[in-house]
Amino acid sequence: MNKTLQFILEIIRVSLILFIGLLILGYVEKTIVQLLGFTEFNWTLIFIADLLFIYILYKNKLQFTGWFKSTHNKTLSRSGTRFALGAAIFCFIIGIVTNIIL
């Protein structure tokens, strides 16, 4: 396969990973938040947290299993992964807590 076709297939794959990942994370988070007894929460911050989780997963694992092979593929550094994971957890918690406070 030529590089253009591989790139297009990889873009489709990334789009599917985002779509399916956001569906699964959204359902799990909605269930958890409802089990905790909250009825409303800030979806924007939780969406940002979900994007960060999927970004970490893609950069550290999924980019090496796709169609588009590149010499530039490398994982996030340990500190970069920790920072992004901390930011995602922070966004998730703030997304829930803001509606309790307000």
pLDDT in tens, the chain (102 residues): 687 888 888 889 899 999 999 999 999 988 888 888 877 778 899 999 999 999 999 888 888 887 667 777 788 899 999 999 999 999 988 988 887 776
CA–CA separation, 74 vs 61, rounded Å? 10
Query: What pLDDT does 36 receive?
Result: 81
- Which pLDDT does position 12 carry in this prediction? 92
Write the burial class of residue 88 (CB in 10 Å: 0-12 exposed, 13-18 middle, 19+ buried): buried
Cα 49–54–56 angle (5° rounding)?
A: 95
- Give the chain's domain count: 1
The pLDDT value given to residue 18: 93
Taking the C-alpha atoms of residue 26 and residue 21, their distance in angstroms, rounded to an integer, is: 8
**Whole domain around residue 30: which residue ranges?**
3-101
